[in-house]
Chain A
């Protein structure tokens, strides 16, 4: 292509433009994701004056959280403020691969929730979307119970 007389060589300009586009999207991504919560943490409930909870066993099901490849809702059973059991009320995925992936991740997420006694759990490697949806739905369930 004729352009040899232009001071800026075409190939250099193209390389610069490609890098600029790459950098632009990268910085937009970093800026927006640092503002949002990272998938591994959910907003911790503000420390409230301890109210007396009845020691009865209560359950709630969290909101159905869309996690990109499907949706998940988590059911939690508590006694007082202590989490007794966590289970998946509903799991729907786009396709079978996500189904098997999510199913494999759920036991790990459940045991983490029980040991952490909150929705502040580590994301399971390879299933970060499922983990995020799980944590958010658990948080919503706990919120319904006032925990």
Chain B
């Protein structure tokens, strides 16, 4: 009989029912491994000692006793030491994940700023002492010898240009001057340091007495430079590019959360492969006119809910004002996730979260990541009650974890932070997480220290402008 056959044939010709897409469980974020960082630091220290020895073994007493010999030796020593530390500076901001997971982007930047005076001073000393030493040997004046060195010695012209670039970058990065320059311009200038280092490389192995006639030393030094360059290319450019391409984020919706605070909802592919911890942030590059050449850090205000991501931004300047006007469909490139304001950095069972103003974004996503039963206490500190963002979400999340929420509303002069100990009497047995503007975090951390909270129990996320 034809009818059932036809029906069967027709039904097989129909499209099969769509397979139910099994959403994979999100990738757990990798745990921080401080042991690896210690080993890396020890290796770097070993290398530094070896570099100093390279300078010392490249000279002899008779060379030091010769005219200009002592200063030439000091010039060589400071040059090697300064260049080595300059490479360490580059490594600190190369965003290698293993290191970033332990210290955090802001921790690494702090170390970068702390170390900065040393390589630049050593390199300036290198130039000055070598010039004087050579001038003494050639029996000419300082500036005449400087000109001779810069123009007639092999690979010295690019090295001299690189030197002045380094000095310019260093001067511009002094805090008092950095404050007066727009952030984007300062950033572009600072990136020139890569170029300055690159063009200065050749003169070291062409002229340095540790390298001339010592092919093994030349090879090792070159490998160190290549490895550093490789890490920068891989983790500052390569990995963010791969991640942006893999996830293809784009803006879905922009809505106002509170006066001057906007939430941006993004959609992306395969977000379950993005291993993010609550409290972490990305550098966001919105690929639209006027914004594509800047990347700004914003915290996620909730854990990823594939296929959506959420970030919340306070409008404080030009860039953030533009964020509020983003059109749906705008593509986004991301770098990250970065940050150590996470549950993995807890040591104690209980936690306390203190959010100042827009700091509630990091606190809100960190809270979502805290296990139930950790009984978190959340303190929301705002100037006016209209600024209480995510109050409902925070309260609900706290309730699920048997925690509680306190609001501290009022101007800075009205609220005494020492009242925190009355709100949370067992503060000293908790991990305390503080997020917010720089001044707020500074005040709270000072108060916490005075109230007896140990330093390793305090975790801070500073929202800098």
Contacts and interface: CB of A to CB of B under 8 A. Distances in A.
Interface string A120-132: 0001011110000
Nearest to B49: A21
Given A26-B53, A128-B63, A97 B134 contact: yes
Output the residue of A17, A23, A67, A101 with the most chain B CB within 10 A.
A17
Interface stretch (B54-62, B226-234, B323-331, B371-379): B54-62
A18 B48 contact: yes
Interface residues of A, number: 36
B242 interface: no
Contact of B49 (A18, A67, A100): A18
Contact of A17 (B34, B49, B51, B152): B49
Contacts of B213: 66-68
A2 B207 CA distance: 41
Contacts of B102: 1
A126 B66 contact: yes
A11 to B, nearest CB: 10
Contact of B153 (A5, A19, A21, A97): A97
| Chain A interface helix/strand/loop/mixed | helix
B52 A1 contact: no
A21 B41 contact: no
A23 B138 CA distance: 34
Contacts, number: 101
B141 interface: no
A21 B60 contact: no
Contact of A69 (B103, B111, B212): B212
Contacts of A44: none
B238 to A, nearest CB: 27
Interface of B: 34, 37-38, 41-43, 45-54, 56-57, 60, 62-63, 65-67, 69, 102-103, 107, 111, 134, 137-138, 148, 152-154, 206-207, 209, 212-213, 456
Interface of A: 1-6, 10, 13-15, 17-26, 29, 66-69, 94-97, 100-101, 123, 125-128
